[in-house]
Amino acid sequence: MYEVLDLLIVGAGPAGLSAARIASAQGLTVAVVDEQARFGGQVFRQAPGEFAAADPDSMHTYPFSHSLFEWARGSTAVQWHFSTLVWGIFDDQQDEHLRQVGIAGPNGASVLKVRRVLIAAGAYDLPVAFPGWTLPGVLTAGGVQTMIKSQSLMPGQRFLLVGGHPLLLLVAELLLDAGAQIAEVAISRSLPKMREMLRATRALPGQSRLVKQLIAILWKLRRHGVPLRFGTGIARVEGKESVQAAILCQLDHNWQAIGDTQRRVDVDTVVVGYGLLASTELARQAGCGVYWDSAAGGWLVEHDDRLRSSQPGVLVAGEQTGIAGAFNAHLQGELAAWQCVLELTEQAYEPIEHTLLGLMARLKRNRRFTDTVITLSAPKLDALTQRITPDTVVCRCEEVTAQEVTQFLDAHPYVTDINSIKLACRTGMGMCQGRYCQHTVAQMLASRLGCGMEQVGIYKAQAPVKPVPVMALANME
C-alpha cells in the first residue's frame, strides 16, 4: 500500500480501465475500486469464472476491448479493489492538494489519501413508475441484461419490452438468443420521420459496426415473429402476486395516450427500458457541480474539455459526462489519465498535450453519432409521469405513494425544491438514496409548477453514498 496514491479510479468499466492502463504505464501509482466482483463495468459484465457458460471472449465486442481486458487480467501495476464500494470523497485537512477517499470492502472500511480521483462510476436504468410497476416480474432492461450476462439467469418466460432506449433492442436480442419468447417490443416514440432519418444518416459514417448490429437485431425480431410497434406505451401492469398481463395503449407524438386504444397482452415479465441516468451521487457528495440534460442522462457532472470537474483534483469520465456508450467512455478514460500524467509528472509537456488534443478530436467526431442516438431516443419524462395514479408507489424503499406526495404539495403550495419533499415525505431516504424515485418525484413537482427539472433540483448526496455496514465504519482506523 502507498501512503499517498497518485490516482484513485472509481469504476472498472471501459472508462476506468482505459484510464488505469494509461496512468500506470506512465508511472503513476494507481488504485481501481469497483463494487462489482470483476472488471468490465455494465457493458462487459462477466459471469463468474466457475460458470460453465463463462466466456471471456463474449466481451470483445468493441475494437478496444480485447487488448484492454488482456492488460487488466495480467496487470500487477495497479492496486485492484473489487467488491469494494467508494462511499465518500473528502478534503484532506492537512494538505489541500490531497483528497481522502472512503472505501469499504471485504477487508472492512478505510480511507485512502490520493492526489487525484477519477470518478468513472457509470450509469443506471431510468426508473419509470406506472400502476403495477412494483409487481414481481417488472424489470428494467439493464437488470435483465445483468441477470443473463452475469448469472446466466432467465427471469421469465413470456416477455413484453417497453420503452425506447437502444438498450431495449440489445436486451431483445439477448432474450431471443437465450430462447425466451417475446410477445412484443413497444416503442413509445413514433416512427422517425423522413427528415429525422436523413439527419441521422449524416452521423453514420464510421459507425458501420453499430449499424450492422442494429440491422441484425431488427432482422432477428422479424425472423422470430416479434412485433416492433412504435407509438405504443404502457398504461399499467396487472397481476395479483406477480405480472399476469400488461395494458398497452397507442401514443401520439407527445407520448400522450390516445383514447380507446388500450389492449391487453398476456405476459409474465415486463422489461422497461426508457433510458439511463448517470450515477452522479459520488460526484455530488464530493461537491462537484452538476447540470440537467434530460436526453443525455439526467443530472450530469460539470467538466471542462479535459474532464476536470468543478472540484480541484476530481476528474470524471464515461457516463458521468452523459450517456454516450462504451467507446466514448474508453476515449474519455484515456483523456482523463493523460491529464493526470500532465499534472503529476515531470514528463515533457508537448507530446502529452498533443495526445490530449488528438483524443479530444476523436471524442468530438464520435459525439456526432451518440448525440443523434440520444436525440432519437430521448425519454419524455413529463408524459411518463402522467400514467401514475394516486395509489402508485413512487418511492419503493420508503413505500410512499403519489397521493402522499400530492397531498403534501397541496398543503404546501410554496414548495419548489425536491429536497423539501424528501424531508417531509421520506422519498429518497431509503436504501437506494433516491436512485429509484428522484426523477418521478422531481417530474411530479416540475409538472405542477410548470417549470423544468433543473429548477426543482436533485436530492442532496451525503456520505455514505451507498449502504455501508455500520460495523465497518466503526472499526475503521
Ligand X SMILES: Cc1cc2nc3c(=O)[nH]c(=O)nc-3n(C[C@H](O)[C@H](O)[C@H](O)COP(=O)(O)OP(=O)(O)OC[C@H]3O[C@@H](n4cnc5c(N)ncnc54)[C@H](O)[C@@H]3O)c2cc1C
Instruction: Write down the residue that cell numbers 432519437 correspond to.
Output: 376
Report which DSSP code applies to 93. Answer: S
Q: For ligand X, which is the closer residue by CB, 104 or 388? A: 104
User: Which residues, 6+ apart, have CB-to-CB distance to 160 below 8 Å?
Assistant: 182, 183, 184, 186, 246, 248, 265, 267, 269, 270, 271
Q: CA 347, CA 292: separation in Å to the nearest integer?
A: 37
Please identify, using beta-carbon distances, which residue of 85 and 138 lies nearer to ligand X: 85
User: CB of residue 2 vs ligand X: minimum separation in angstroms?
Assistant: 19
| Helix or strand holding residue 69 (H, E) | helix 65-74
User: Using N-to-C axis directions, what is the helix angle for 14-25 and 325-344, rounded to 10°?
Assistant: 30
CB closer to ligand X out of 118 and 248: 118
Q: How near is the Cβ of 223 to ligand X at its closest, in Å?
A: 21
Of the two residues 72 and 388, which places its CB atom closer to ligand X in the complex? 72
* Residue (148 or 267) nearer to ligand X, CB: 148
b/e string for 213-237 if b means 16 or more Cβ within 10 A? beeebeeebeeeebebeebbbbbbb
User: Judged by CB, which is closer to ligand X: 61, or 407?
Assistant: 61
Task: Give the Cα separation of 380 and 388 in Å (integer).
Answer: 14
CA-based end-to-end distance of the chain: 15
Q: How far is the CB of 310 from ligand X (least distance, A)?
A: 19
- Closer by beta carbon to ligand X, 271 or else 465: 465
Task: Give residue for cell 422479424.
Answer: 222
CB of 340 to ligand X, least distance (A): 16
Residues in contact with ligand X by CB under 6 A are: 10-16, 33-36, 41-43, 85-86, 120-125, 142, 145-146, 167, 170, 276, 279, 282, 318-319, 325-326, 329, 465-466
Q: How far is the CB of 101 from ligand X (least distance, A)?
A: 10
Cα–Cα distance, 56 to 78 (Å, whole number): 21
Query: Minimal distance in Å, beta carbon 177 to ligand X?
Result: 13
The CB density around residue 61, as the number of other CB atoms within 10 Å, is: 13
CB of 296 to ligand X, least distance (A): 12
Helix (H) or strand (E) holding 86: strand 85-91
User: Which residue number, 36 or 392, has a Cβ lying nearer to ligand X?
Assistant: 36
